[in-house]
Amino acid sequence: MNRSEEILKEIKGFGIEQSLEYFASQFPEQVVFSTSFGWEDQVISHMIFSNKLPIKVFTLETGRLFPETYYVWNRTLEKYATHIHAFYPDTEAVEKMVSTKGPSSFYDSVENRKECCGIRKVEPLKRALAGNSLWITGIRAEQSMNREHMLSVEWDEANQIHKFHPIFDWTLDQVKEYIKEHNIPYNPLHDKGFPSIGCAPCTRAVKEGEDFRAGRWWWEDQSKKECGLHSS
């Protein structure tokens, strides 16, 4: 049931950490945060772990991540003495796709790429969200044009869950400053021109003057660059 407008009113005037605490108390054991260990997600992970909030943190282990992503994953576990739930794609689905089309079929067409994203990310996400009431994300408004008109709380029809974007209005400079101030571990690829980091075969560094998401699925038209996780 869509209560996004009501929820927005409930947290009006709250700070981010206060909002997180409020949601954890309002939806006990039904609040989850998805991290891909990028800048934004590390900020939110810090808020959750340092305050010991009862919010389940999970990640999608696609099987195609950068070594640097595993590095910051481990550093995060060490710093906060915590654990992060990993959701893997269905083995049979991956085996069938790779056996039939090869390990790099996503380069051949948008349909093939969406199939790969669907198997490695979208289906595991649905399992991760099942039975929960609130999904916390690291989305920021300035990350892409189609996110400028979103609200910090919205209803995800596809997954039947409310979404909360705590740092929706933050700039990238604010994110970097927060990470520096709190000595938060972050992916070293960010220092090499990777503002957005996904699967290794589908992500490259961004050149000066390029769009924020130009490094994701760079061989496709700009308008098609979504994997389906936030398509609602």
CA atoms within 13 A on the CB side of 69: 20
**Cα-Cα-Cα-Cα dihedral sign, residues 145, 45, 23, 55:** positive
45 vs 122: CA distance, rounded Å: 21
- Residue of 116, 199, 202, 227 marked catalytic: 227
Cα dihedral 150, 156, 161, 164, rounded to 10, equals: -20
Active-site residue, 227 included: yes
Whether the Cβ atoms of residue 119 and residue 97 lie closer than 8 Å to each other:
yes
Which strands, in side-by-side order, build the sheet including 134-136?
A: 85-87, 56-60, 31-34, 134-136, 161-164, 153-156
The β-bridge relationship of strands 153-156 and 161-164 is: antiparallel
> Where in the sequence numbering do the catalytic residues fall?
227
